[in-house]
């Protein structure tokens, strides 16, 4: 069976999207690859198809434990044997899943980066024939990335301990040239094996709105688009709660998500949104990474985020099905002051802190652009 056959029989597509086949061919030739593709560009197929072509196991390093089950369930529904191991499982369940992997009963095993820091677990992994490792949301590995996670730094060292010497693919929807170079250097990926498809999304209409009463604008917009699914981002938990209450008072179909909610409530609210029991998710940036919901018609930022790359990754969650969608930034200068406050109170070293200020400046330039917004995004990514 070849890649094109798997694409059609397992995933229901008749042709590859731009860049997918190149990434797959490089991986099957034993080359490590960095794939830079927009949100909705089909990054997951770049490792899911090779996983079915390789004889051994594919590890998928994913930063969000809460999404692993959703990703695995979607694969299993397509008759693709996959499982996950995370802290929600008992030791007996973990052993059972490792045994399944050893017997070749699963093709993809999803893990968090923190799991690789456990010596006993690494010893178990070393008993398996691992042909491919996929690092999802790879911008987390770079200290220059907008969502840097220290646990990702250990991934490189841990992967070098694997005796099977697997092929590696790192994937992200958002990376400046500096971040991309950092990822390649940390993972030992050659420059010629960076596959960048461009970040322009023709179906995504970008808009910056200034000088409006934001609450009134959003209420009017939600009522006008009452049957559409969307995400509204705010910068603080307090603002998320306030907006959710406001929208509920107007009988709008909304739920909310932020890190201050219990894990059970977050999961329930996430499922309500994913399965259209609630049409609109009001959230901080804690929500969205790895979310596989194709029919999101709009993303509204009620407040400006901290960087242009973070904005475009979040905005890119609209229109993943290729249909016309909107990304709207409700901008006012006080948002920038809030983001400066977040940077100033962080415990970052001076160099990364200065980098955050530069990213914030790029967002300000975007918000004040007079012409077409897509080229401004393209220059940044």
How much of the chain exceeds pLDDT 70, in percent?
93
User: pLDDT per residue over 204-215, tens digit each?
Assistant: 999 999 989 999
Q: What is the pLDDT of residue 144?
A: 62
Give the chain's domains with CATH numbers. Answer: 3-196 (3.40.50.300), 204-380 (3.40.50.300)
Q: What is the mean pLDDT of the segment spanning 3-24?
A: 93
Q: By the 8 A CB rule, do 366 and 377 touch?
A: yes
User: pLDDT per residue over 262-310, tens digit each?
Assistant: 989 999 999 999 999 999 999 999 897 767 788 999 999 999 888 888 8
Q: What is the CA radius of gyration of the chain?
A: 21
Q: What is the DSSP letter of 19?
A: T
Residue 374, pLDDT above cutoff 80 = no
CA distance 276 to 119: 41
CA distance 191 to 62: 24
Residue 351, pLDDT above cutoff 80 = no
Give the chain's largest Cα–Cα span: 62
DSSP string over 43-73: TTHHHHHHHHHSSSEEEEE-S-HHHHHHHHH
pLDDT band at 151 (very low <50, low <70, confident <90, very high): confident
Least confident segment among 26-30, 60-64, 151-155, 312-316: 151-155
pLDDT band at 74 (very low <50, low <70, confident <90, very high): confident
Look-up: residue for tokens 């060292």? Answer: 157
Q: What is the pLDDT of residue 313?
A: 82
pLDDT band at 150 (very low <50, low <70, confident <90, very high): confident
For the full predicted model, state whether its pTM sits above 0.85: no
Helical spans, DSSP H, in the chain: 3-11, 20-28, 45-53, 65-77, 91-102, 119-125, 150-160, 177-187, 214-224, 237-249, 263-274, 308-315, 333-345, 350-367, 374-380
Q: What is the pLDDT of residue 247?
A: 98
CA-to-CA separations, 12 to 20, 164, 215, 317, in angstroms, rounded: 15, 32, 41, 22
């Amino acid at each position: 069976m070849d890649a094109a056959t798997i694409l059609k029989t397992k995933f229901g597509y008749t042709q590859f999207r731009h860049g997918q086949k190149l990434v797959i061919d490089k991986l099957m030739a034993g080359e490590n690859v960095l794939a830079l593709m927009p949100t909705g560009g089909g990054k997951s197929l770049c490792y899911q198809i090779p996983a079915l072509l390789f004889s051994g196991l594919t590890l998928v390093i994913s930063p969000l434990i809460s999404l692993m089950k959703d990703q695995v369930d979607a694969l299993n529904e397509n008759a693709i044997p996959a499982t996950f191991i995370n802290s929600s499982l008992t030791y007996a369940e973990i052993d059972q899943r490792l045994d399944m992997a050893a017997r070749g009963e699963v093709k993809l095993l999803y893990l968090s980066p923190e799991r690789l820091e456990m010596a006993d677990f690494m010893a178990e992994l070393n008993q398996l024939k691992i042909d491919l490792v996929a690092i999802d949301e790879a911008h987390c590995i770079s200290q220059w990335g907008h969502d840097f996670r220290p646990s990702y730094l250990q991934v490189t060292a841990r992967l070098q301990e694997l005796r099977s010497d697997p092929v590696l693919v790192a994937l992200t929807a958002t990376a400046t040239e500096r971040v991309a170079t950092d990822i390649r250097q940390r993972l030992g990926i050659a420059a010629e094996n960076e596959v960048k498809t461009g970040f322009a999304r023709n179906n995504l209409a970008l808009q910056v709105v200034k000088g409006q009463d934001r609450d009134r604008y959003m209420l009017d917009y939600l009522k006008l688009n009452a049957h559409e699914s969307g995400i509204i981002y705010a910068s603080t938990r307090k603002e998320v709660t306030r907006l959710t209450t406001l929208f509920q008072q107007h009988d709008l179909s909304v739920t909310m998500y932020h890190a201050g909610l219990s894990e059970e409530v977050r999961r329930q609210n996430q499922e309500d949104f994913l399965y259209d029991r609630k049409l609109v998710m009001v959230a901080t940036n804690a929500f969205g990474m790895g979310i596989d919901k194709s029919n999101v018609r709009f993303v509204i930022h009620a407040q400006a985020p901290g960087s242009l790359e973070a904005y475009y990754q979040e905005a890119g969650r609209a229109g993943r099905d290729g249909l016309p969608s909107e990304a709207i930034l409700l901008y006012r200068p006080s948002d920038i002051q809030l983001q400066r406050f977040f940077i100033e109170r962080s415990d970052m070293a001076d160099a990364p802190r200065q980098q955050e200020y530069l990213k914030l400046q790029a967002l300000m330039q975007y918000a004040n652009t007079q012409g077409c917004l897509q080229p401004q995004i393209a220059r940044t990514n």
